[in-house]
Every structure is written in structure tokens, then in C-alpha cells.
Chain A
Amino acid sequence: MIATARAVAWRNLHNFFSNPALVLPALIFPLFFFTAFAGGLSRISNVPGFDFPPGYTAFQFVFVLCQSAAFGGIFTGFSVARDFESGFARRLFLAAPRREAIVLGYVLAALVRAMFTIALITVVALAVGMQVDGSAIDLFGLYGLALLLNVAAILFAGGVAMRLRTMQAGPAMQMPVFLTLFLAPVYVPLDLLSGWIKGVASVNPATALLEPAARSSPAGPSTWRWPSPSASGSSRSLRCGRSEACEAPSARAPSAVALDRAPQRTRSPPPGHRPASTAAPAPVNQIAIMGTVDPTWRNGGDDLGLHLADVHLEDPDLHAPLHRLVGSSPGDRARRRQ
């Protein structure tokens, strides 16, 4: 089975890489979309409510990545249709001991084609200054998601090609994927869409690919950034809950105490308490601290356990308010005691 799959994949890849008419569109179109969207629409990042710290280039990179992965699968589906039209597929069916291996071969070819395109897009994106805040694990997830999408696309397109067995089935392979991708939040996050397209995007499965998972990856999860070493202290670790989960690695010391397990145990602030943020509360960014602190912080951070669940963030960056509340250095603690 492996040998058959390898042979089918090798033939497909050989045809692909030795034919400029196949290679160039596969490379040029994603780059072209990336250039047109990231270059021409970068001012979109100035729209109020557009909250994607790494910038519009990274925002569009995710879409182009998913699009090129999906279309890598679709174009391989075209190859399947072409094999049927030329009669090669019939000979292949006669020769292959297990037909699943043929499908596997096409999937392998699609994956290699997608990886080739994705690598080029990544290089170009980095060359033009795309900011990547995510960790290696985030990026692994992003590329893994793109490759999964590629596999789904080749299975879909290959299925259509094997059913209809003609190149004229091209639109039947291409259009559903094209529409699904473009009816997702392509240009702005879902929250900034309005009208009918927001309704469609809300139920579009491609939104689930682009929005919470993929687009958090180049940025790092949500707007969270890892606390700097100076702020994190030696044994303090915090885990914060927001609309998207984000956490720092917990280094719970045996003597550490749980401050709060919000939202179950939120406490009301004492009368006359002034919230850490004096601005008008904006509950969209309400956070709850569920982490642990070193015991030595109990006294210094006496307001910590009382009010952390009620913090309202006016700054999308979580770090600054946490810094204000928890303190980060002996100097901070000394000031708080005074």
C-alpha cells in the first residue's frame, strides 16, 4: 500500500513541479492575494475595534495560508480529474492492489504541494516584516490546521473528481471552497462584520478555522503576552481566563495558596474601594485570576485576593493591569505596605 501511495504521489508531484503552467499559478495566486490584501488594505487595522496586535499583515497571512492550503488540495483534485480524462486512472486501478493507496497517494501529493506553497508564503511574509508573536507550539498548531484543511480539500475535490471523472467538474470542486473561505471573516474579525455576511460568517465552518484558533496563533493566544521575567517573580505564576484561554506555565509551589477560583468565588470589593482602573469600566475585558502566588506575597498582595475578580481592563494588554495589581518587585511591595 505504501509503495503504491508513494508511486502515485511521486508521479503527481513530478507532473506538478515539471510543469510551470501548474507551479506558477499555485505560487503566484496566494502571493498575489497576500500582496493585495496585506498591502492594499493595511489601513483596515486602524478601524476602531480592530484588535490584532501583530498587525494586518499577520491577520491576512492566516487567511492566505488557509486559502493556499485549501486550494493546494483543490488543484490536486484537478489532477485526479485529468488522470481520469486521460485514461491513466483506469490503468492505475488495474495496477494498484489496494485502491485506498491511490487516494493516499493523492493526499500525500497534495500535502507536499501545500507545504511548498506555504513555505514560500511564509518566507515572503517574514521578508515583508510580518510580526509573529506566537510560540513554536502556536505556529505548529497554525500550520497543522492548514495542512488538515489541505487534506480535507483534496478528499473533497478528489471525491468530486472520482465521481464526475472530467475536468469540467472544476467549478464543482472550486466554487464551494472559494465561497466557504470568502464568506468567512476575511478582511476583518467577526466582531467587525455587519449585516448578512456576519450571519453567514457566524455559521460558516471556515470562521471556526480562521477566527479563534488560527488567528490567535501568529499573535500568540489572544492579546496575552508572557509576563516578563522581572514581572513574573521567582515562583509566581498566573493563569488568566478571558474569552480565549491563556495561561502562563504554572509553577505551583507546595506552600502556594489559591487566591481565587473565579467566577465561582468572586468577592465583592469593600465599600469605598477604588478599582485598579479608574476609567469607566468596560466589562468586555473582565478577567479572573485563578493562579497561585508565592506565600511571601500574601501580605504584600493583600488586596489581590479581594478584588482581582473585579478588575476591568481598559488596556487590551493584560500585562499592565496585572502588573499594577500584583506588583513585580520588592520595591512595589514596599510601596504597597506604606
Chain B
Amino acid sequence: MTSGAARIQVAAVARRPIVRTMRQPAMIVPAVFFPLLLLAVNAGGLDAATKIPGFPAGSYLSFALAIPFMQGALFAAMSTGTNVANDIETGFLSRLSLTPLRRVWLLVGQLSGVLVLGVVQAITFLAVGLIAGADLAAGAAGALVILALSLLITLGFGSIGAAMALRTGSGEAVQGLFPLLFVTLFLSSMSLPRDLIETGWFRAIATWNPVSYLLEGVRSLLIEGWDVHALLAGFGCAAAIAALALAAAASALRTRMART
């Protein structure tokens, strides 16, 4: 297949989820509003944490600004999963399977809607955070890197949602995924740096949890500047999650199309 044909296929499939996402405020508003609301609550409520000796930032807002990017990715997973499950439940995917569309482009097209949502989220979070007084130690170039990392994270979590939907074919099952993803966020270095987590088992879980490194990658650009180690860990974890989730989604799609 030529690249031109591939582009046409992707554009045709991608248009639908993008339009569907952008036309439904119910998909955008909660995904943007709730992370910002929790940011406001946490930044105000935990500002005293900056007085802990060794805390890496002077403002908890700057420290916590990385969290909405992860929460946005969780919403992306739910959004993608729900949309794909809806396509399965309504029979749209069955009709697509009759077309000569390649599976990989079908998957990419389905994920394009969530990537657009990811861009909207990342720009909004960063803009609101900076207006509210958060630091951006890495400067304007850092903002671009944050956007890139955020999109990679969104792609990974969106793929998890798609894989779940394709595997189960049920919107309810996708909704059941949310608590699990939420747990991974809370059992990370979300609220305090790992070296300041006092409880041993919690620190051990946070150290093994890849979400910690995703957060720390974004956070390093906000409060420290260019920390190569944190960025490599962040991009590495995000790429690994995206690759594994895409593989799982592709496998589930292959099974689903065979069934269809």
C-alpha cells in the first residue's frame, strides 16, 4: 500500500473520532475541568508540604502541575475505550471490517481523536498552570517537550482503553478499568517526591510504578529544568507503555475482526 493510500485511509477513519470528540462537550469538559479542579484543591491544600526539608519546589502548584497531565491521560483511556466499545456495540466496527481498510490504520484512526483531546488538555493545563503562577524552569522549549511527552502518555493510555474495549467489546468493562488506572496514579510519587515518602512499602510501590517516572519527567521540566535522567526515564516509560498497549490493542483488534 502506498503512503498516499495510507494517508487517505487514516484521514477517513480519524475524522470520525476527532469530530465526535470535539462535538461533544461532555467528552472535553470533564477531561479538562476535573484535573484542573483537583490541581486547585491539591495545590492549595498541600502547599504546606513545601516546608518539608528537602522538598524540591518552592511552590506546590509547580510540583503538582504534572498531575493533571496524568489525569488527562486517564480520561483519554476512558474516552477512547468508551468510543471504541460504542463502535463495537453499535456494529460500526463490523461495517468497517467489510472495507479494505488495514487494521493498523483503523487503530491509528481510532486513536487520533484522543490525541487531539490530548493536545487540548496539555495546552490548557500548561496555560492555566502558568497563569496561576507555576514555574516552567525549562523555558519555552521545555513546554514543547512537555507537550510531546504528554502526547506520548496520552497515546499509551488511550491504547490501553482501546485494547480493553476491543478485548471485551463492552463499555461497562471499560468503565471498570478506571479505578485500576486511578490506583496506579495514586500509588505513585504524585503527591510527594519518592525520597520524601516516609512509608516504606508505599515508596517501594511508587518506585516500581512507571507512572512515577511519567510524572517525574513532566515535573522535572517544570521545577528543575533539563534533567536528562528524569526525561529519559519519563520518555522511556511512556514509549514502553505505548508500545505494549498498541500491541495489545492490535492483537485484540485482530481477534475482534476475525470474530466479526
Contact = CB atoms under 8 A, between A and B. Distances in A.
Interface of A: 25, 28-29, 32-33, 35-36, 38-44, 46-50, 179, 182-183, 185-188, 192-198
A35 B199 CA distance: 10
* Residue from the set B48, B51, B183 with the largest chain A CB neighbour count within 10 Å: B48
Contacts of A196: 44
A132 B37 CA distance: 33
B257 to A, nearest CB: 30
B192 interface: yes
List of 8 A-B pairs having minimum Cβ-Cβ separation, nearest first:
A197-B44, A36-B186, A39-B202, A192-B48, A39-B199, A43-B198, A42-B198, A187-B45
Given A29-B179, A32-B183, A197-B41, A40 B48 contact: no
B240 interface: no
Given A39-B202, A40-B197, A193-B47, 14 more contacts: A36-B186, A36-B191, A39-B197, A40-B202, A41-B191, A43-B52, A43-B196, A47-B51, A50-B48, A182-B45, A186-B45, A187-B42, A188-B48, A195-B44
Contacts, number: 86
Question: Which secondary structure characterizes the binding site on chain B?
Answer: helix
A32 B186 CA distance: 8
B128 to A, nearest CB: 14
Contact of B179 (A25, A46, A182): A25
A264 B228 CA distance: 66
B190 A40 contact: yes
Contacts of B202: 35, 39-40
B187 interface: yes
A46 B52 contact: yes
A40 B41 contact: no
A158 to B, nearest CB: 24
Contact of A197 (B45, B192, B197): B45
B186 A182 contact: no
Interface string B168-184: 00000000000100110
A41 B41 contact: no
B12 to A, nearest CB: 33
A39 B192 CA distance: 11
A129 to B, nearest CB: 11
Given A187-B45, A195-B44, A40 B191 contact: yes
A183 B41 contact: yes
Interface in B84-129: none
A39 B48 contact: no
Contacts of A49: 48
B49 interface: yes
Contact of A194 (B38, B47, B192, B206): B47
